[in-house]
Structure 1
Amino acid sequence: MNPYRTPGAYLIQALLLCTVLTNAHAQSVHPAKKKAITNSIGMALVPISPGSFNMGATETSFSLDKKNDFSKDAPYYDETPVHKVTITYPFLISQTEVTEEQYRLFNKEYHVGKDFSPYVSGISWNDAMAFCQWLSKKEGKPYRLPTEAEWEYSSRAGATSMFWSGATPPPSDVNPWGLKGMASGVAEWCYDWYGPYTAGGQTDPVGYQSGWAKVVRGGPASTSEMDEHTKQFGPIKDLAFYRSANRGSLQPDCPAAGSTQPAPHYIGFRVVQAALPKTEATAFAYSFPLQGVIQNTALAVAGPDPAKPYFKARQVMASPPDLTMPIENETVGLDPANQGKVHSSGIVGCPNGDLLLIGFSSSRTKSESAPNATMVVTRLRNGAEEWELPEVFYDRSSVNDQSALLWNDNGTLWFFGGGRGLGTVPFVFTKSTDNGATWTPLTTPLVKGEVGPFAPQPITSAFRGSDGTIYFGSDAEGSTSLLWASHDNGKTWYDTGGRTHGRHTAFIPLKDNRILAMGGKNSNVDGYMPKSYSSDNGKTWTDKIKTPFAALGSNQRPTIMRLKDGKLFFAGDFQDIKMMDIPPPKDITERGAYVALSDDEGETWKIKRLAMAPQHNDWTGRVAKGKKPQQAWGTLGYCDVTQSPNGVINLMTSKGKPSMHFAFNEAWILSDFTGEVNELPGKVDNAKLIQQQETYKNGKARVSYSGWTSKDGFVLHGKQAWFWPNGQKQYEANYNNGHIEGVESYWNTDGSLNWTRDHTPYGTIILTKYWPDGKKKSESSWVGLTAHGPATLWDANGKVVREMMFYEGRESHGTQRAEL
């Protein structure tokens, strides 16, 4: 008998153990062998013995609460595949989260958080690590944050169910191994960089080598929405976030050091006393659209004759994921983090001639402000004719990722992203200096000065003022927008103070140093879109002034840009697409979408109907009870625009069926052409095949490619290959005048095949994904960027998990789902 335990304690432990064995089907019993010890700052540390457990969620669907708005859609994509983890070493873990009293020994300036007192909350990962380093130095022993595997192993305490207590949360949260608050209370930072689980067993895992965010366990990484009455944020109560397998993540610098704003989250931490395992971290890789990026900029300037009309239309976003459900995305072989609709995207022309699009992907069945929204990315490579399948840009798990803005700042690409549920954090940002191949860490802005009401939703406009100040547009409260600004290249930011007269306002600096703000939704002057001006860099705005354009509503936003020749370009819709509150003025008789040019700083406009704009993706021809119809006219939805180095204007649409990319020049806008007009992408007489190779710093080949320069610009033609840094082939495809023919293949760093796309002679594409051992994981049929035909998903053992039939990008009848 353990001399440190009373008979009553053993009875309680026995009852808890019975609960675990009965309700949770425990794998093993692991009572603490020794009594918890107390360190020099009064922290109780519980000994944990080595062992094994199955990491991840075995549940595919459940409901823990009547109002489950903040739970992820099942299946829980980042909690699978379930995999065996073995921990070979003993360690000590703090019995509770670090308390405020303990933390103030390290940082006496810490302000008490009222929601989870006496435990510390609102701490950044960086600060939690600094506390561990301080404690290590103080005691001469290694302290650190728990690895994600250590945390789940300790939380489960031998159980395999949702909670250590079974299928429901424990009434008193002290698990059988003596740890408190693992299924309640404050969320906790872990050591690991967040990333997807890999198949196969692991021993002493330590996560990824790098990433976008750090793992959060034991609660949601985000807060709830602001209470409309108190204007205060509070913790999310959804029980799903307190399951043993639930994963969250957040950028490690949140809240920003030196911020004077209240803490934006409720994350605390507990500590482990043990050396970090010497296991090699999993290699981090950016998603496919950010790989194999050609850095040559010389080929980007070739383009169509600016004196001749040019117009080309392409589908920009694949379906799936657009207009679909996560279960459909996974079946066709896409990352299930792709949700059911993609919009509020940003598009940017890269210095190398590529186009990059990043947008937020949200569920079709839950609120766009729910924490399962992610950021996805796709690319149109210079010389290619088709956009790539979208993949995840980043996913801050259990945090709402929303509203992307991209900006080419003289060769440096800036990304600004929003997201609700993080209180005082208005946006995050990151930069790339290599055409979007690599990015700086995702950064929480350090905001100085007074901040007015805002919505964390960047819009479309970013620019530098005449003094070098950076400005970018964001939604504010209600039907208003604002400009965020930085005098020091992003080190600190401030609210410029003023608010425009519309949501989703498009901004542009004028030649006389005023800033023009065009419209936005839910605001009008006699049915017309409003505009206003600021002569003090966004601090104040004039009253609303009537424009010649119709006011816009939900599912719409305009976009504006200054072209290379100095003219202003503007695009939007001729009507509120729902026609609910603001009918267009009587003198605006056209319907659909338009593009417009101004050579007098926006005083007058040459307006042209964009006949190829797609219908709204929710238009069905009938009206649901109690709802207004989406009209059958063309719409740009949440659109954005950029200009390529060769002068071509690139307009991206969303909310359409499908979402589109229109590439054109000024000559087309001024012409009578209404549709496509461009040269065939074939070889020009006497043009020579350009063959290029780019290398890593060590001289090994990184990417090789070839192509022609046609009348409309550079065209990929011939074999293209990418290589991993270890020399292993990464990717291979064969281009024929911009189109991929035959089989394109993508390999993992170990040489195993990851996926193939077989471009058949019949116009279809067969996408096949593989498990690491070479077995098929999924196979689906596509026409361009639209799934069309059968799709099958297999588990790692070769068993059919799901069979589906797709028609024009959506699930058709005849779908069969196998039981897991």
Structure 2
Amino acid sequence: MTFRNSLFLLLLAALLGFFAPDSESSNSIGIRMIRIEPGSFTMGEASPRADGWDETPAHKVTISHPFLISETEITVEQFAQFQPDFTGSRTEGSAATGMSWHEANAFCEWLSHKEGKPYRLSTEAEWEYAARAGTSTPFWSGEAPPAADAPNPWGLKGVHSGAAEWCYDWYGPYAEEDQVDPIGVSSGLSKVVRGGGLDRDSSYYARAANRASYAPAFLMMRGTDRVTSQNPVTPSSEPTLQGLIGLWYGRINLTDPKAVDEVTILNLDWRFYQQPGQDRGEMWSARWSGFIQAPTTGPVTFDASSDRAVTLLIDGKTVLAWEGGEAQKAGTIPLIKGKKYPIEIVYAHDHGEKTYLNLQWSWAGQPTTAIASEALSYSPAQRQQAVAQAPRQYLPGHHSIGFRVVQAPLPATPALPEILPSIQRCVAGKDTDLSKGPDPSKARLRRRPLLTIPSVGSSREETIAAGMHPGMLGHNHNPGFEVMPNGDLLAVLFTSAYGPGGEDQPEVAMIATRLRFGADEWDMQEMFLDFADVNDTSSLLWREGDSVYLFWGHTFYNRAYPFQWTASTDSGATWSPVRFPQFRAEIGPRTNQPVSTALRDGRGVFYLPSDAIGGTSVLWATDDNFQKWFDTGGRTFGRHTNIALMKDGRILGMGGKNSNIDGYMPKSISSDGGKTWRVSKTPFPELGSGQRPSLLRLASGRLFFAGDLQHSSGQYPDAFKERGAYVALSDDDGETWRIKQLPGVLPADPNGFHRNLNPTLGYTVARQAPNGLIHMISTKTLPPLHWELNEAWILSADAGLLATPASAIVDVKEHRQLFPSGRVRRVWGAGTLATREYRLHGRDTWFYENGVEEWTVEYDRGRKVGTETYRLPTGQKAWVREHRQDGSHTWRQFWPDGSIKSESNWRAGRADGPARIWDRNGRVSQAVFRNGSGVCE
């Protein structure tokens, strides 16, 4: 709606009087409107649950004018008057759900034009004010939610039940001060959702104070309950896919089907093998089918062990079967070598800690051994049958968010400025020669801490005591990583609580950190991206030219797309609106978890790898630059498979975990764009939980690969005697490898999920900078690490880490960066080390366009010294760091009025010494840290 149109409607409303004299009325399309009188209330919660940090501070909000709000959410019938072909997701009764925020907003504009009255979405403050209806308890009805159809004291229905609701505001932190008619922050990536959870559908997330959010483009894909192809093709019955396919059921008698289940090995322990979000409970069963290729001609004996019940049928004949308890049984059947026989396996679990199935085979001259993974296969037709038998999956975007309408002018209150993290502020332009760097012929290996402690390895209480954001938690993992166009390095990781289920919670968010080009220390990590009450995870950063894409998934939100993405063209300073993939045809079983690499082939097709089901991965692809996407059809033999384009145009997939051939990691090669894969054994040990390898095509043409020397359980092939991790190079597209043990790898975080504490790279991602250096980050250790190495080191006999260089700096010059207006944006000094590395040196000052200094810091060959200050546009200090010669520093943060907010002391990336927090009234709380851990004194 244009400003002129909006002004006309406001004037018309003022002349005619848009409020009816009664407290209730119905409009032209039957929306029943309730009059809400002005008043004040406490917005948020004073003492929320720990994961409700975004509900604070509880603050006084005044609604200064009356408004009308719809009694219920807009119904399907009402929305269809605006959009006649709308059917809705039909998830919440008569309420219209499944539309984007933009469509909800367009409905309001349509209704405004239709009636000549100003309709809009409710602000977040108006929604909570009307929902509370003068109460201060979690629900208007008290501590427990009301009956679904009960009106609150002001007449609104369904505020704590039914559809969640889009609000007008961008999602952002609350103001510290009391407010009048707030409208939220000025911009963002997600819009506020009120009145219900997204990841979790429980009463806690339907409280009056609860805040959720999602991207405004979140839209139900139109059509049937499945994505159907416009040109359906009968799937092949040839067994071209690795593993077996079937369903798992919620009861032990193969009833209550839950989901498609794909297995690639037959040594299964579901304590460690379950898919995200699939806690199968105490009683369940499964049936898998496919084909098994005979290893020999003659009798083959199958040995099975299980905690309760197993049935094995081959070629329609029962080879073994039992029920009733833990046992080990055997059965024999004659087979012909090389022939593929139909196989069916049925398993059931009925209570108890153990839940496992181990199926092996033996024949004359061959002792009992694991069934080779490559002997198992199934056809695309069998997969289609399994999908058809499974419960209907929600169509991507088939969400349960609706909306109410408000009839009133939008408050004139200015929006709060969006608060960006430091990694998006003071981002350098592309005015430095990024090709300068160390001599590539000289071996180089360096290691840096990637994140500080806290937040890594810390409790929420420790993180807050150190002055960090309360949403940052101790488990920081599953990273995305990229070299930015300006030479900076950017890492994005999820942050979650430790312990069972910690990674599964709706509060899981994204943090980020930046290593600025020419600096020698990473910025302290900060909150970066959070769709509130949705599990944000599995980030993939990928650069093409000056564009950097961030893909990520919502693993546990069953209405989500397989992934979504945003893009930056200024090295991560700003990010585009979030987009969702639109698929041309049916998509197969998947997990919403992108992996760490992507590629574009010679035909321009872009491939995005993601976890599928079990020990497999899928390639999503687009041949029209992200406009339409498709499932390539095949599945690799490995979860978290990393991909690279081979020299002849084929796609190589390495690993990643939950699959093996004789204890070794498999590789998968596709010559048809991911439709089919040929699987073979690599020379690398298999990987398991908490492990992900890294694959990268280097500028030299070689392949780079990195991973752990042992499975996370501690197992390893007999050929490997060392423990820890390796890096490797291949000159022949992965046929042969030069493998070298990586020194300096830290033990696995004892608070994490590893079942042993061997040195590990955890989840690793590698990228190559324009100067030839290979940068790699790794997680699952305290702290996570950044590795910097070159090919010469891998090829050399040198096994050591390089100490922090202390060489002299030469050719130091002052540089300037300008705003488009011509005003000075940045003035800084930099020079070159004897190692030919670019380093920031001297004073570095950034300015706002109004001339106020924004960020001032002093560098000594890339390391910060002296006083570092960040200011608001008003000139008020936001924070100060005092860097000392011994490498320690003190960090102070300030309230908007200039009073001190927090003070903490740090040494070598760890909180060390006293830390104090002041509230707005000057009351202080104190903690003491030793080497990153809070201690009692």
Q: TM-score, normalised by structure 2?
A: 0.77
Task: Please give the alpha-carbon distance, in whole angstroms, between the structure 1 residues aligned to 2:469 and 2:826.
Answer: 25
Residue 564 (structure 1) aligned with residue 699 (structure 2): yes
Deviation, structure 1 residue 703:
2.0
**Alignment pair present for 1:592 and 2:724:** yes
Write out aligned runs for 1:593-612 (5 A).
593-612=725-744
Larger radius of gyration: 2
| Mapped pair 1:183 → 2:124 | no
Structural mapping, 1:99-110, within 5 Å: 99-110=75-86
User: Which secondary structure does the structure 2 equivalent of 1:240 belong to?
Assistant: helix
From the superposition, tell whether residues 451 and 257 of structure 1 become closer, same or farther in structure 2 (CA, over 3 Å).
Answer: closer
1:158 aligns with 2:134: yes
Q: What's 2:433 paired with?
A: 299
Do the aligned partners of 1:501 and 1:531 also contact (CA within 8 Å) in 2? yes
Q: Distance in 2 between matches of 1:742 and 1:210?
A: 35
Shift of residue 258, structure 1, vs aligned partner: 5.3
Alignment of 1:202 with 2:179, yes or no, is: yes
Matched residue, 1:372: 507
Instruction: Say whether 1:613 aligns with 2:736.
Output: no
1:813 is displaced (CA, Å) by 3.1
Match of 2:99 among 110, 123, 128: 123
SS in 1 for 2:716: coil
Secondary structure at the counterpart of residue 439 of structure 1: coil
Question: SS of the counterpart of 2:502?
Answer: coil
Aligned to 2:601: 465
Aligned pair partner of 1:340 in 474, 477, 502? 474
Find the counterpart in structure 1 of residue 208 from structure 2: 244
1:694 maps onto 2:843 in alignment? no
Instruction: Determine which structure has the larger strand proportion and give its number.
Output: 2
Identify if the C-alpha distance between structure 1 residues 151 and 779 changes in structure 2 by more than 3 Å, giving closer, same or farther: same
Cα deviation for residue 712 of structure 1 reads 4.0
Q: Is the 8 A contact 2:509 2:530 kept in 1?
A: yes
What are the equivalent positions in structure 2 for 1:683-762 lying under 5 Å apart? 683-684=808-809, 687-710=810-833, 711-762=835-886
| Runs of 4+ with >4 A deviation | 256-260
**1:634 paired residue number:** 759
Q: Deviations over 1:40-72 (max 9, x none)?
A: 0111111111211121112334xxxxxxxxxxx
Question: RMSD of the TM alignment (CA)?
Answer: 1.8
Relative to structure 1, the CA distance from residue 204 to residue 255 in structure 2 (aligned partners, 3 Å threshold; closer, same or farther) is same
1:807: which partner in 2? 930
Instruction: With the length of structure 1 as denominator, give the TM-score of the two structures.
Output: 0.88
Task: Select the residue among 440, 448, 452 that pairs with 1:318.
Answer: 452
Deviation at 1:505, TM superposition (A): 0.7
Report whether the alignment pairs 1:269 with 2:394: no
The gaps in structure 2 that reach 5 residues or longer are 1-19, 228-394
**Could you tell me how far apart the structure 1 residues matched to 2:879 and 2:402 are?**
40
Work out the CA distance in 2 between the residues paired with 1:76 and 1:223. Answer: 15
Secondary structure class of the residue paired with 1:408: strand
CA drift of 1:572 comes to 0.2
Task: Say if 2:90 and 2:96, in contact at 8 Å, map to a contact too.
Answer: no
Distance in structure 2 (CA, Å) of the matches to 1:629 and 1:640: 19
The answer on 1:480 being equivalent to 2:616 is yes
1:561 counterpart SS class: strand
Query: CA offsets per residue over residues 611-661 of structure 1, 9 Å max, x none?
Result: 1111101279xxxxxxx9733321100000011111100010000122100
Matched residues in 2 for 1:369 and 1:692: separation? 47
Of 529-538 and 337-346, the range deviating more from structure 2: 337-346
Aligned residue number for residue 51 of structure 1: 39
Partner SS, residue 76 of structure 1: helix
Q: Does the 8 Å CA contact 1:681/1:715 hold for their aligned counterparts?
A: no
Note if 1:432 corresponds to 2:432: no
Query: What are the Cα deviations for residues 673-715 of structure 1, in whole angstroms up to 9, with x where unaligned?
Result: 222236735434xx32121121222222222211112224110
Q: Is the 2:634–2:675 contact (alpha carbons within 8 Å) kept by the matching residues of 1? A: yes
SS at match of 1:299: coil
Which of 255, 273, 286 is the equivalent residue of 2:420? 286
Is the Cα contact below 8 Å between 1:258 and 1:446 reproduced in 2? no
Deviation readout 1:312-342 (Å, 9 max, x if unpaired): 1100012222112222222212122212211
The CA distance in 1 between the partners of 2:467 and 2:76, in whole Å, is: 46
Which amino acid is the alignment partner of residue 312 of structure 1? R
> After superposition, what is the alpha-carbon deviation per residue over 1:416-466, rounded to whole angstroms, capped at 9, x for unaligned?
111121434111111111111111112122222110011111111111110
**1:601 CA displacement:** 0.8
Please, which of 215, 237, 247 is the counterpart of residue 192 of structure 2? 215
**What CA deviation, in whole Å up to 9, does each residue of 1:719-743 have, x standing for no partner?**
1112223332211111011110112
Distance 2:758 2:199 in 1: 39
Q: Which residue of 2 aligns with 1:398?
A: 533
In structure 1, C-alpha distance between the alignment counterparts of 2:838 and 2:396, rounded to whole Å: 51
The one of 30, 35, 38 equivalent to 1:42 is 30
* Separation in 2, partners of 1:804, 1:578: 37
Kept after mapping to 2: 8 A contact 1:223/1:266: no
Q: 1:678–1:712: 8 Å Cα contact kept in structure 2?
A: no
* Contact 2:425-2:573 within 8 A present in 1 as well: yes
Distance in 2 between residues matched to 1:773 and 1:805, nearest whole Å: 27
**8 Å contact kept, 1:297–1:353:** no
Q: Deviation per CA, 1:51-105: give whole Å up to 9, x if none.
A: 11121112334xxxxxxxxxxxx16211111122112111110011111111111
Contact 2:547 2:568 in 1 (8 A): yes
Q: Which runs of 5+ in 1 are unaligned?
A: 1-31, 62-73, 225-235, 621-627, 815-820
1:266-321, Cα deviation, whole Å (9 max, x unpaired): 11100001111122111224310111111134332210000111121100012222
Task: Look up the equivalent residue of 1:122 and give its one-letter code.
Answer: G
SS of residue in 1 equivalent to 2:811: coil
Give the aligned length: 744
The one-letter code matched in structure 2 to 1:484 is W
Sequence identity percentage: 45
Counterpart of 1:512? 648
Task: Give 1:551 shift.
Answer: 0.1
CA contact (8 A) 1:611 1:634 kept: no
Higher mean displacement: 275-284 or 371-380: 275-284
Distance change >3 Å, CA 430–CA 113, structure 1 → 2 = closer
Counterpart-to-counterpart distance in 2, 1:706 and 1:758: 20
Q: Partner amino acid for 1:385?
A: D
